[in-house]
Amino acid sequence: MSGALDQEPKDDYQTVSWGPREEDIPLDWEMKCISDISENVIYPQRDKPKNLEGEIPWIRIEDLDGKYISESGSGKGVTQDTVQDMNLSLFPPGTLMCSCSGNMGICAITERELVSNQTFAGIVPSKDIDTEYLYYTLENLRDDLQRLSSGTTIPYLSSNKLKKFSIPYPPLPEQRRIADILSTVEDQILQTSEMIEKTKELKCGLIQDIFDLETDGESSNHTSEISLEGVQEQSLSDYVSIVSGVHVKSDKVSDDATKTPYLTGPDDFDEFGFSVTKFTDEPSKFCEPGDTLVTVKGSGCGKTTFANKRASISRQLKALRPGEGFIYH
C-alpha cells in the first residue's frame, strides 16, 4: 500500500479516503470498520479488583512483549468468584488486545482467558479476518489511533471511535499471506537480535577470561586453563594512541547534516558503531573509522563501541587508535 499520492492511481489500484488522507489500495481490497470484522469489542470497566491472587491472569501494558500473551508478568490474577462478583469482562482466547489508553495500538493475541483494566480493548475477530493480519495492521496504524484519541492528561480512545476505525481489508487468503510474510520477517529479526546478544556475552566472557585473572594462580570462572607464565604487563599507550574529545559549545551544535558529525556520548552508540544525530561547525578532536570509542565521563562511563565513520567527539569520549604491531579485532 502506498502513501498519499498526488497522481492518478494505477489501473489495478483504487484511491480511498482514509482518515485525513487518501491512499491507493488494490482494486480487490476494501476498507472495513473494526465493527464490521469483529464479533465483539470488549471494553473493561474501570474498577480494579482488590484481590489479585487468582488463577485468571490480570494483564497490564508492561506484560505485553510479543505477538501472543498467556500470562501476567507480575503473576497477578483474579478468581472466578471475583469475575462474577465484579462482573469483569473476560477476553476469550484468540482476542486481539489493543491498548486504547496512553500509547495506542500496542497489541497482543490472547492464548487463554484473560482480564485487564481499561488500558485495553478486546477485539474478538470474526471468521472473515485473520487475527495475525489484524495484529500487524493495528500495530502499523498506531499513529492513526493516537490521532483519534481524546483527553488532555491521558489520551483515550472511546469504544465508538475504535469500532468506526477503518483498516485495509484484503481477501482472506491474502490476509494470511501478508501475516505469514510479516511473521517470518519478525522471527528473523528476533533470531538476529538473539545472535547479537549471544555474541556480546561471548565477547565479554572471553575478555574476562583473558584479563580478569587471579594473581594467586587460581583462576575465576572459566579461566582455569589460562596460564600467566611468560605474560608481560604492557602499557596500553605502547600500542594505541589516545585521542581525548573536546567540549563544543551548545550554540555550535545543531541538526544541520551539512556540518561535521558530532558525538556527545554513549547515547549515540548502537549495534553497528554509532548513529549521528548532532552536527557542529566547530569540530576539534576526531575519531576515525576503526577506532575504539570509550566513555570516560558520566553515568555511561565504560561503555564502548567501534567508530564506523569519522566524527568529532565530545569530552565524554576518548578514541583509542591502534598502532603498528597491535592485533586489533
pLDDT at 43: 92
Of the ranges 23-27, 86-90, 316-320, which one carries the lowest mean pLDDT score? Answer: 23-27
Asked if residue 213 has pLDDT above 60, the reply is no
CA distances from 320 to 139, 248, 300, 316 (A): 42, 20, 17, 14
Query: Is the separation of the CB atoms in 183 and 175 below 8 Å?
Result: no
Q: How confident is the model at residue 163 (pLDDT cuts 50, 70, 90)?
A: very high
pLDDT at 48: 83
Distance in angstroms (rounded) separating the CA atoms of residues 290 and 263: 16
Q: Which class would CATH give 238-322? A: alpha beta
Q: Whole-number mean pLDDT of the chain?
A: 83
pLDDT at 8: 54
Residues whose CB falls within 8 Å of the CB of residue 313, separated by 6 or more in sequence, listed in order:
243, 245, 246, 262, 263, 285, 286, 287, 293, 319
Query: Higher confidence at residue 191 or residue 172?
Result: 172
pLDDT at 223: 45
Identical topology for domains 13-178 and 238-322 = yes
Residue 81 class from Cβ within 10 Å (0-12 exposed, 13-18 middle, 19+ buried)?
A: exposed
Asked if residue 323 has pLDDT above 80, the reply is no
Rounded percentage of the chain residues whose pLDDT exceeds 70: 81
Ordered by start, the domain boundaries in the chain are 13-178, 238-322
Of the ranges 19-28, 69-78, 89-98, 134-143, which one carries the lowest mean pLDDT score? Answer: 19-28
- Return the closest-CA partner of residue 141 out of 18, 286, 321: 18
Domain 13-178: give its CATH superfamily.
DNA methylase specificity domains (3.90.220.20)
Distance in angstroms (rounded) separating the CA atoms of residues 269 and 233: 30
For 228-265, b/e burial (b = at least 16 CB within 10 A) is: eeeeeeeeeeebbeebebeebeeeebeeeeebbbbbbb
Asked if residue 199 has pLDDT above 80, the reply is no
pTM over 0.75: no
Asked if residue 108 has pLDDT above 90, the reply is yes
Backbone angles phi, psi at 291, to 5 degrees: -70, 155
- Return the closest-CA partner of residue 186 out of 123, 136, 260, 235: 136
Average confidence (pLDDT) over 201-207: 63
Distance in angstroms (rounded) separating the CA atoms of residues 123 and 131: 10
Residues whose CB falls within 8 Å of the CB of residue 225, separated by 6 or more in sequence, listed in order:
219
